[in-house]
């Protein structure tokens, strides 16, 4: 069993530097550690992504699919600690020309007590 990802959790950018921020709203009814849990696809945006000499050239958004099979607040599966998605973010090289920033965005729980599968 894994911890449920709640509004007090975070998103990490793996294999590149940048900031990933949730764009989805957590459940108003179901809480873990005093914060609403994320259910259904967890939407996010990435800003300031850099990988080597490649810098993000514009807005990027994506979503992390929930992997919980049994825990379904608001009739939607929960996002679990460690759920992730691969990303390919358009970028530009310092000397001009296009490039692609690749890696993963991973969800992390902000609470340690409530788990599910």
| Res 112 pLDDT > 90 | no
- Say if 16 falls within a structural domain: yes
Q: What is the CATH number for 96?
A: 2.60.200
The range of the structural domain enclosing residue 27 comes to: 2-112
Sign, CA torsion 74/75/81/82: negative
pLDDT digits (tens, 9 = 90+) for 67-105: 999 988 888 999 999 999 999 999 999 888 999 999 999
- Say if 40 falls within a structural domain: yes
Alpha-carbon distance of 83 to 99, in angstroms, equals 26
DSSP 71: -
Q: What is the pLDDT of residue 95?
A: 85
- Say if 36 falls within a structural domain: yes
- Say if 117 falls within a structural domain: no
- Helices first, then strands: H and E counts in the chain: 0, 11
User: 113 falls in which pLDDT band (50, 70, 90)?
Assistant: confident
∠ CA(77), CA(82), CA(83), 5° rounding? Answer: 40
């Amino acid at each position: 069993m894994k911890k449920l990802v709640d509004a007090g959790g975070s998103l990490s950018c793996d294999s590149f530097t940048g900031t990933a921020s949730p764009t989805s709203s957590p459940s108003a009814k179901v809480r873990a550690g005093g914060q609403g849990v994320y259910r259904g696809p967890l939407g996010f945006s990435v800003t300031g992504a850099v990988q080597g000499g490649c810098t993000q050239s514009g807005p990027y958004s994506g979503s992390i699919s929930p992997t919980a099979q049994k825990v379904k607040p608001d009739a939607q599966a929960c996002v679990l600690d460690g759920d992730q998605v691969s990303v390919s973010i358009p970028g530009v090289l310092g000397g001009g020309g296009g490039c692609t920033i690749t890696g993963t965005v991973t969800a992390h729980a902000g609470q340690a007590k409530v788990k599910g599968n």
